[in-house]
Structure 1
Amino acid sequence: MSANIILPRIMQIGEGASQAIPEVLHSLDCARPLIITDRMMMELGYVNRIQQRLKEHQIDADVFADTVPEPTISSIMAGVDQVREGDYDSIIALGGGSPIDSAKAIAILGRYGGSMRDYKFPRVIDEQGLPLIAIPTTAGTGSEATKFTIITDESSDEKMLCVGLGFMPVAALVDYSLTLSLPARITADTGIDALTHAMEAYVSRKANAYSDSQALAAMRLLGPNLRRAYHNGQDQQAREAMMLGSTLAGIAFSNASVALVHGMSRPIGAFFHVPHGLSNAMLLPSVTAFSIPAAPERYADCARAIGVAEQEDNTETATGKLLAELVALNDELQVPTPAQFGIEEEHFMSVTEEMASQALSSGSPNNNPRIPTRDEIVEIYQALWKK
């Protein structure tokens, strides 16, 4: 059975890739870009660096820098208004997953109008918005190479999944040197996010030969280098491996799917404002333990790719090593439990059923090798308090 593979039209990968932005704009016949980013990218000087590079080629770029972590409908509307009032022919998304996800939504709404809920899955958006060039500054979401965006409806605390070719950037400039200034906490959270993408793509019911090749390659890069990048942010070899691994993991899940971890993670983020990568990390060991009985060989492959199991290890041994590694990784990278994050147990328990309903409605749990019932999802949520 064939698989429909969707990728950015242009990919520039490696140190200094972000400096290719003028040539990429020229190849797209674009000359009036809007940079969509956040305040941190302004403070770090990354935005100014891009603007100066563009000025060398007589290109002026305005900036919208008011994106927020875990973007909401209201947070993107000022950007939509700026696009609709301006004379822009393209968008440059600079930052982590949140600015890139925001830019994807702004590129579509800015061209076609309507409300964000109009574009929510199960509708598939293949209409093309403004051409989007993504420059990631974290090694985590892989959003520069995916056909997805996540926007929270703050009126219902629902993280809406939006899917389709229209959300795929036309170009991705993947420059690991932009990650050298990342603090350890963001390195950990985004790194585990990337690892989750690769694992879920590989065990997904929608996996295919192409996504498998990308997922395994991603895990081989991420597994040995996540701790190194966390402990020494200036380790360029580890940073380069993490950045490439993140992009490959994004390609993998964009052309397969994510599964139960992501389905359960989004409601935790929406209700309790837990960063996406961190909520994935909280769930990954428990969901993996739940899912292994339905795909033990696949999870054993993950253990070998990550580097914690030997080729000669049998399936049971390899999956046992995988579970031990996921727990040890969370410990070493200081991933908090929900309680340690500051969430009140009574509040958490009171919304587990609603979170389970939202997880199921996202569709992601149906891609899991072991498809959970609503009650089983509630049990996994509740078990997080026993960690």
Structure 2
Amino acid sequence: MFDMTWTGRVRFGAGVSAQVGELLRSLGAERVVVVTDENMERLGTADRICAHLEAAEVHSCVFAGVEPEPSVETTDAVAELAREHDCQAVVGLGGGSCMDVAKAVSILITNQGSAAAYQGQGLVKVPGVPKVMIPTTAGTGSEVTSTAVLSRKGDGFKGSISDDRLRPDYSFLDPELTFTMPPKVTASTGMDALVHALEGYTGRQASPFSDLFAREALTRIGKWLRIATWNGKDLEARSEMLLASFYAGVTLANAGVGACHALAYPLGGSFGVGHGCCNALMLPYVVRYNVPARSDRYAQAAAWLGLGTEGWPDREAALACAEGLEDLVEDLSLPRKLSALKAGIEEKHFDALAEVALGMADFLENNPRPLDKKACIVLYKEAF
């Protein structure tokens, strides 16, 4: 038995973001807030989207101050801006951080209080205003999920607002908007998508439904991530990776993630290392740890990734999956060791990092092989 979760309406294709104004106008929205970051403002992408809105007589106010690790305080500020301008819809433009804030703002317009009051499971009482996501990276899958991960500047807490009312109503997947991603961002977000698909496929919550999307994501990532990283103007590669990110997001939304995410989150929260980079670094070590529990699934994943392991015994193919992932990380010029991050991480920090990782109970319960504190520390040491 399993449940299936789906997102709202999705439009995919080169140039489809030009339709955002027409869509919002058809919903009766006359004023919207565009939630984005300084990169989208600097590159002119925000102006481009606002021009599409104005052409449809939809007036916009822009907040371009979303941080890489978005905060409750920033989200509250955007919500106040949206209320002041009587905004009737929200557009999230950018990577996962921008989309997470946009989703949270949509419910803060109609609910009282700070975003902090809704960090938890199912705490949103009133549906939000319509929310439209326009991803400009290919990895987070935030255009699919019903969560918004936010930190609190006051106490350093980092947690999710998790509620079906955060699920986007519409998403525009326009590969042309991903042309501006530099190689490092392409690589790290692409690896984030890979981890979503692989952890969903090998996790305890996997289902025949999520498996379909995991397969499509892994097959595309294995073929196209290197090309998209090093030839960023290749429209086919960008299109396939944006689709892969979406499919991996559907996998994540239905099957969850596992130990790699649990171990990666405290590295980002404590040392400011990018989420995709942390996932990419920890993944081969977690795969090796998990092989005894799900060698069959890792063997299948190796084949989908194009590692040439068809016909191999499951255990050999599963271990080759870990090796292939290490090669991929190296080909993408992403760091393979914690000591190479230059972020101040030392072995003395592993105990505290492991404690935080153990707090990610949902992730660890979904992992195919149980982890305790000792196992977490061993994995950090192996990755160091």
Normalised-by-shorter TM-score class: over 0.9
1:322 aligns with 2:353: no
Residues 250-290 of structure 1 show CA distances to partners (whole Å, capped at 9, x for unaligned) of 01111110111111111110000011101111111111111
Partner of 1:7: 7
2 CA distance for matches of 1:127 and 1:212? 33
The number of equivalent residue pairs is: 382
Structure 1 residues without counterparts, runs of 5 or longer: none
Q: Return the match for 1:359 from 357, 362, 366.
A: 357
For the structure 1 residues 293 and 157, does the alpha-carbon distance in structure 2 shift closer, same or farther, using more than 3 Å as the test? farther
Structure 1 residues 122 and 381, CA gap change in structure 2 (3 angstroms) = farther
The correspondence of residues 141-290 of structure 1 with structure 2, limited to 5 A, is 141-290=140-289
Cα distance in 1 between the residues matched to 2:73 and 2:54: 32
Question: 2:110 aligns to what SS in structure 1?
Answer: helix
Amino acid at match of 2:243: L
- Match of 1:42, as an amino acid? E
Whole-angstrom distance in 1 between the partners of 2:155 and 2:204: 29
Match of 1:56 in 2: 55
Cα distance change, pair 205–127 in 1 and its aligned pair in 2 (3 A): farther
Structure 1 counterpart of 2:253, one-letter code? S
* Local SS of the residue matching 1:213: helix
* Cα distance in 2 between the residues matched to 1:215 and 1:124: 29
CA distance in 2, matches of 1:339, 1:266: 17
Maintained 8 Å contact 1:15/1:177: yes
Q: Which amino acid aligns with 2:44?
A: G
Q: CA deviation at 1:22?
A: 1.9
Q: Distance in 1 between matches of 2:269 and 2:171?
A: 28
Q: How far 1:120 sits from its partner (Å)?
A: 2.5
1:273-318, CA deviations, whole angstroms, 9 ceiling, x for partnerless residues? 0111011111111111111111111111111111113432221232
Q: Distance in 1 between the 2:211 and 2:231 partners?
A: 30
Letter in 1 for 2:351: E
Q: Distance in 2 between matches of 1:17 and 1:377?
A: 44
Task: Name structure 2 gaps, 5 residues minimum.
Answer: none
* Counterpart amino acid of residue 11 in structure 1: V
**Bigger shift: 308-317 or 56-65?**
308-317
Equivalent AA in structure 2 for residue 221 of structure 1: R
Q: Distance in 2 between matches of 1:217 and 1:317?
A: 23
TM-score, normalisation: structure 2: 0.95
Structure 1 residue 123, shift from structure 2 partner: 4.3
Deviation at 1:177, TM superposition (A): 0.7
Query: Quick one: which amino acid aligns to residue 290 of structure 1?
Result: Y
Equivalent-residue separation in structure 1 for 2:124 and 2:207 (angstroms) = 22
Whole-Å separation in 2 of the counterparts to 1:338 and 1:274: 10
Distance in 2, matches of 1:301 and 1:23, equals: 43
Letter matched to residue 145 of structure 2: T
- In structure 2, what residue type is equivalent to 1:245? A
Using the TM superposition, name which of 311-320 and 236-245 deviates more.
311-320
Pairwise CA RMSD: 1.6
Instruction: Output one character per residue of 1:93-147: Cα deviation in whole Å (capped at 9) or x when no partner.
Output: 0001111111122222332133333322344647422211000000110111111
With the length of structure 1 as denominator, give the TM-score of the two structures.
Answer: 0.94
Going from structure 1 to structure 2, the CA distance change for 1:261 and 1:361 (only over 3 Å counts) comes to same
Q: Which residue of 2 aligns with 1:341?
A: 341
Which residue pairs with 1:28 in the alignment? 27
Aligned AA (1:342): K
In structure 1, what residue type is equivalent to 2:332? L
Query: 2:344 corresponds to which letter in structure 1?
Result: E
1:166-225 residue CA offsets vs partner (Å, 9 max, x unmatched): 221100100011111211010110010010111011111111111110111111111111
Matched with 2:303 is 304
Separation of aligned partners in 2, 1:46 and 1:356:
39
